Amino acid sequence: VLQLILDSIFPKKCVGCKKYGSYLCADCIKNIHQFELICPECGQPSNGGQTHLNCRQALGLDGLWSLGLYKPPLNQAIQKLKYKWIKEISGVLTNIIVEYWARYQPFLLGEITKSGGEDWVVVPVPLHKKRENWRGFNQSALLAKDLASKLGLKYGDLLIRTKNTKSQVTLSGSDRRQNMQGAFALKLNCQLKTANCLLLDDVWTTGSTIKECCLVLKQAGAKKVWALTLAS
Ligand SMILES: [Zn+2]
Ligand SMILES: [Zn+2]
Protein backbone atom coordinates (compact mmCIF):
# COMPACT_ATOMS: atom_id res chain seq x y z
CA VAL A 1 0.00 0.00 0.00
CA LEU A 2 2.77 2.40 0.94
CA GLN A 3 4.46 1.66 -2.38
CA LEU A 4 1.22 2.42 -4.23
CA ILE A 5 0.86 5.73 -2.43
CA LEU A 6 4.48 6.61 -3.10
CA ASP A 7 4.10 5.68 -6.77
CA SER A 8 1.18 8.01 -7.17
CA ILE A 9 2.97 10.91 -5.44
CA PHE A 10 6.31 10.29 -7.11
CA PRO A 11 5.51 8.38 -10.30
CA LYS A 12 8.43 6.49 -11.83
CA LYS A 13 9.79 8.25 -14.88
CA CYS A 14 12.36 6.93 -17.34
CA VAL A 15 15.69 8.73 -16.85
CA GLY A 16 16.27 8.59 -20.61
CA CYS A 17 13.06 9.54 -22.44
CA LYS A 18 11.03 10.79 -19.41
CA LYS A 19 8.19 8.37 -20.18
CA TYR A 20 6.23 7.36 -17.05
CA GLY A 21 6.12 3.79 -15.76
CA SER A 22 9.69 2.79 -14.95
CA TYR A 23 13.09 4.31 -14.11
CA LEU A 24 14.55 2.97 -17.33
CA CYS A 25 12.20 1.83 -20.09
CA ALA A 26 12.83 -1.10 -22.41
CA ASP A 27 13.57 1.18 -25.37
CA CYS A 28 16.20 3.14 -23.46
CA ILE A 29 17.78 -0.04 -22.14
CA LYS A 30 18.38 -1.04 -25.75
CA ASN A 31 20.36 2.19 -26.14
CA ILE A 32 22.82 1.27 -23.45
CA HIS A 33 25.75 0.80 -25.72
CA GLN A 34 27.57 -2.42 -25.39
CA PHE A 35 30.89 -1.76 -27.02
CA GLU A 36 34.20 -3.45 -27.45
CA LEU A 37 35.76 -4.04 -24.06
CA ILE A 38 39.23 -2.69 -23.38
CA CYS A 39 42.34 -3.79 -21.53
CA PRO A 40 42.49 -1.77 -18.27
CA GLU A 41 46.23 -1.14 -18.67
CA CYS A 42 46.58 0.11 -22.26
CA GLY A 43 42.98 0.99 -23.13
CA GLN A 44 43.09 -0.99 -26.37
CA PRO A 45 40.36 -3.49 -27.34
CA SER A 46 40.67 -6.85 -25.68
CA ASN A 47 38.66 -10.07 -25.80
CA GLY A 48 36.27 -10.15 -22.85
CA GLY A 49 38.07 -7.20 -21.26
CA GLN A 50 41.05 -9.29 -20.18
CA THR A 51 44.32 -7.49 -19.50
CA HIS A 52 46.60 -8.31 -22.46
CA LEU A 53 49.30 -10.82 -21.59
CA ASN A 54 52.08 -8.32 -22.16
CA CYS A 55 50.23 -5.56 -20.27
CA ARG A 56 49.98 -7.62 -17.07
CA GLN A 57 51.41 -6.19 -13.84
CA ALA A 58 52.13 -8.26 -10.74
CA LEU A 59 49.65 -6.34 -8.60
CA GLY A 60 47.48 -5.05 -11.42
CA LEU A 61 43.98 -5.77 -12.65
CA ASP A 62 43.21 -8.97 -14.53
CA GLY A 63 40.51 -7.30 -16.57
CA LEU A 64 37.72 -4.77 -16.88
CA TRP A 65 34.09 -5.39 -17.71
CA SER A 66 31.94 -2.36 -18.25
CA LEU A 67 28.22 -2.29 -19.07
CA GLY A 68 28.25 0.64 -21.48
CA LEU A 69 29.47 4.09 -22.37
CA TYR A 70 29.13 7.06 -20.04
CA LYS A 71 26.44 8.72 -22.14
CA PRO A 72 22.63 8.83 -22.15
CA PRO A 73 20.79 7.02 -20.76
CA LEU A 74 23.46 5.33 -18.61
CA ASN A 75 25.09 8.53 -17.31
CA GLN A 76 21.64 9.91 -16.43
CA ALA A 77 20.81 6.77 -14.47
CA ILE A 78 24.14 6.97 -12.61
CA GLN A 79 23.60 10.62 -11.75
CA LYS A 80 20.12 9.85 -10.41
CA LEU A 81 21.55 7.07 -8.28
CA LYS A 82 24.38 9.23 -6.92
CA TYR A 83 22.91 12.66 -6.51
CA LYS A 84 19.14 12.22 -6.37
CA TRP A 85 19.21 9.30 -3.95
CA ILE A 86 16.93 7.18 -6.12
CA LYS A 87 18.27 3.93 -4.75
CA GLU A 88 15.78 1.77 -6.67
CA ILE A 89 17.76 2.44 -9.84
CA SER A 90 20.50 0.24 -8.45
CA GLY A 91 18.27 -2.84 -8.84
CA VAL A 92 17.30 -1.87 -12.38
CA LEU A 93 20.95 -1.46 -13.36
CA THR A 94 22.14 -4.70 -11.80
CA ASN A 95 19.36 -6.56 -13.64
CA ILE A 96 20.73 -5.17 -16.90
CA ILE A 97 24.28 -6.14 -15.91
CA VAL A 98 23.21 -9.73 -15.23
CA GLU A 99 21.35 -9.94 -18.54
CA TYR A 100 24.01 -8.29 -20.71
CA TRP A 101 26.86 -10.04 -19.00
CA ALA A 102 25.72 -13.43 -20.21
CA ARG A 103 24.89 -12.09 -23.65
CA TYR A 104 27.91 -9.94 -24.47
CA GLN A 105 31.57 -10.60 -23.74
CA PRO A 106 30.89 -13.40 -21.25
CA PHE A 107 34.53 -14.33 -20.62
CA LEU A 108 34.54 -13.12 -17.01
CA LEU A 109 31.21 -14.75 -16.25
CA GLY A 110 32.67 -18.01 -17.57
CA GLU A 111 35.65 -17.67 -15.22
CA ILE A 112 33.35 -17.17 -12.26
CA THR A 113 30.94 -19.99 -13.03
CA LYS A 114 33.79 -22.42 -13.78
CA SER A 115 34.44 -22.65 -10.06
CA GLY A 116 30.79 -22.39 -9.09
CA GLY A 117 31.50 -18.86 -7.87
CA GLU A 118 32.73 -20.20 -4.49
CA ASP A 119 36.00 -18.30 -4.49
CA TRP A 120 34.68 -14.99 -5.83
CA VAL A 121 33.70 -12.02 -3.73
CA VAL A 122 32.09 -8.76 -4.87
CA VAL A 123 33.91 -5.80 -3.31
CA PRO A 124 32.68 -2.19 -3.54
CA VAL A 125 35.05 0.74 -3.97
CA PRO A 126 34.49 2.56 -0.67
CA LEU A 127 33.70 6.21 -0.11
CA HIS A 128 35.41 8.18 2.61
CA LYS A 129 33.31 8.16 5.81
CA LYS A 130 32.67 11.90 5.50
CA ARG A 131 31.37 11.59 1.96
CA GLU A 132 29.27 8.54 2.80
CA ASN A 133 27.72 10.29 5.80
CA TRP A 134 26.86 13.28 3.64
CA ARG A 135 25.30 11.17 0.92
CA GLY A 136 23.80 8.63 3.32
CA PHE A 137 24.97 5.63 1.31
CA ASN A 138 27.68 4.39 -1.00
CA GLN A 139 26.28 3.81 -4.48
CA SER A 140 28.98 1.24 -5.28
CA ALA A 141 28.14 -0.78 -2.17
CA LEU A 142 24.48 -0.72 -3.14
CA LEU A 143 25.31 -2.06 -6.60
CA ALA A 144 27.80 -4.61 -5.27
CA LYS A 145 25.36 -6.05 -2.70
CA ASP A 146 22.62 -6.27 -5.29
CA LEU A 147 24.83 -7.91 -7.87
CA ALA A 148 26.29 -10.40 -5.39
CA SER A 149 22.86 -11.57 -4.34
CA LYS A 150 21.62 -11.86 -7.93
CA LEU A 151 24.67 -13.90 -8.95
CA GLY A 152 24.81 -15.93 -5.74
CA LEU A 153 28.27 -14.62 -4.88
CA LYS A 154 29.71 -13.44 -1.58
CA TYR A 155 29.65 -9.74 -0.81
CA GLY A 156 32.68 -8.30 0.96
CA ASP A 157 32.96 -4.74 2.19
CA LEU A 158 36.70 -5.27 2.55
CA LEU A 159 38.24 -1.85 1.94
CA ILE A 160 38.21 1.48 3.71
CA ARG A 161 39.11 4.86 2.32
CA THR A 162 41.74 6.29 4.60
CA LYS A 163 42.29 9.53 2.71
CA ASN A 164 39.57 12.02 1.85
CA THR A 165 40.95 12.67 -1.61
CA LYS A 166 40.35 15.78 -3.68
CA SER A 167 37.78 15.49 -6.45
CA GLN A 168 39.40 13.82 -9.46
CA VAL A 169 37.37 15.74 -12.00
CA THR A 170 39.87 18.51 -12.73
CA LEU A 171 42.99 16.35 -12.43
CA SER A 172 45.01 14.85 -15.27
CA GLY A 173 45.80 11.15 -15.48
CA SER A 174 49.10 11.19 -13.60
CA ASP A 175 47.79 13.65 -10.98
CA ARG A 176 44.84 11.33 -10.43
CA ARG A 177 47.14 8.43 -9.69
CA GLN A 178 49.15 10.52 -7.26
CA ASN A 179 45.98 11.81 -5.61
CA MET A 180 44.85 8.22 -5.02
CA GLN A 181 48.14 6.85 -3.72
CA GLY A 182 47.64 5.27 -0.29
CA ALA A 183 43.97 6.27 -0.27
CA PHE A 184 42.72 2.78 0.60
CA ALA A 185 43.44 0.08 3.16
CA LEU A 186 42.17 -3.37 3.95
CA LYS A 187 39.75 -3.63 6.86
CA LEU A 188 41.16 -5.39 9.88
CA ASN A 189 41.18 -9.20 10.00
CA CYS A 190 40.44 -9.64 6.32
CA GLN A 191 41.99 -12.73 4.78
CA LEU A 192 42.11 -12.93 1.02
CA LYS A 193 44.46 -15.85 0.50
CA THR A 194 42.45 -17.73 -2.12
CA ALA A 195 39.87 -15.13 -3.04
CA ASN A 196 39.18 -13.63 -6.43
CA CYS A 197 37.62 -10.18 -6.33
CA LEU A 198 35.10 -8.38 -8.49
CA LEU A 199 35.81 -4.77 -7.69
CA LEU A 200 32.72 -2.69 -8.27
CA ASP A 201 32.46 1.01 -9.05
CA ASP A 202 29.97 3.16 -10.94
CA VAL A 203 32.30 4.72 -13.51
CA TRP A 204 35.71 3.92 -14.99
CA THR A 205 37.51 7.09 -16.05
CA THR A 206 41.29 6.68 -15.90
CA GLY A 207 41.00 3.72 -13.56
CA SER A 208 43.29 5.29 -10.93
CA THR A 209 40.80 4.69 -8.09
CA ILE A 210 40.10 1.08 -8.99
CA LYS A 211 43.78 0.33 -9.65
CA GLU A 212 44.69 1.62 -6.19
CA CYS A 213 42.02 -0.64 -4.64
CA CYS A 214 43.29 -3.58 -6.70
CA LEU A 215 46.81 -3.01 -5.36
CA VAL A 216 45.58 -3.26 -1.76
CA LEU A 217 43.58 -6.43 -2.48
CA LYS A 218 46.47 -8.13 -4.26
CA GLN A 219 48.95 -7.15 -1.56
CA ALA A 220 46.58 -8.89 0.86
CA GLY A 221 46.76 -12.06 -1.23
CA ALA A 222 43.86 -11.86 -3.67
CA LYS A 223 44.46 -14.04 -6.73
CA LYS A 224 42.47 -12.44 -9.53
CA VAL A 225 40.98 -8.96 -9.38
CA TRP A 226 38.58 -7.77 -12.06
CA ALA A 227 37.03 -4.34 -12.25
CA LEU A 228 33.33 -4.15 -13.01
CA THR A 229 31.75 -0.79 -13.70
CA LEU A 230 28.44 0.48 -15.02
CA ALA A 231 30.03 2.86 -17.45
CA SER A 232 33.35 3.81 -18.94
ZN1 LIG B 1 13.01 5.58 -21.81
ZN1 LIG C 1 46.75 -3.94 -22.91
Q: Is 107 exposed, middle or buried (0-12, 13-18, 19+ CB in 10 A)?
A: middle
d(CA 77, ligand 1 centre) in Å: 11
Q: What is the pTM assigned to this prediction?
A: 0.90
Nearest-ligand number for the alpha carbon of 15: 1
Categorize the per-residue pLDDT at 30 as very low, low, confident or very high, splitting at 50, 70 and 90. confident
Higher-pLDDT residue of 136 and 53 is 53
Nearest-ligand number for the alpha carbon of 73: 1
Angstrom distance (rounded) from CA 22 to CA 14: 5
Which helix (DSSP H) or strand (DSSP E) does residue 103 occupy?
helix 88-103
Categorize the per-residue pLDDT at 174 as very low, low, confident or very high, splitting at 50, 70 and 90. confident
141-157 mean pLDDT: 95
d(CA 28, ligand 2 centre) in Å: 31
Nearest-ligand number for the alpha carbon of 51: 2
pLDDT in tens, 2-26: 777 767 777 888 999 999 988 899 9
d(CA 18, ligand 1 centre) in Å: 6
Which of 215, 204, 161 is closest to 225 using CA atoms?
Answer: 215
Nearest-ligand number for the alpha carbon of 13: 1
- State the first-to-last Cα distance of the chain, in angstroms, to the nearest integer: 39
Nearest-ligand number for the alpha carbon of 53: 2
Q: One-letter amino acid identity for 33?
A: H
Instruction: Tell whether the model's pLDDT for residue 154 goes beyond 90.
Output: yes
d(CA 145, ligand 2 centre) in Å: 30
Residues with CB under 5 Å of ion ligand 1 are 14, 16-17, 25, 28
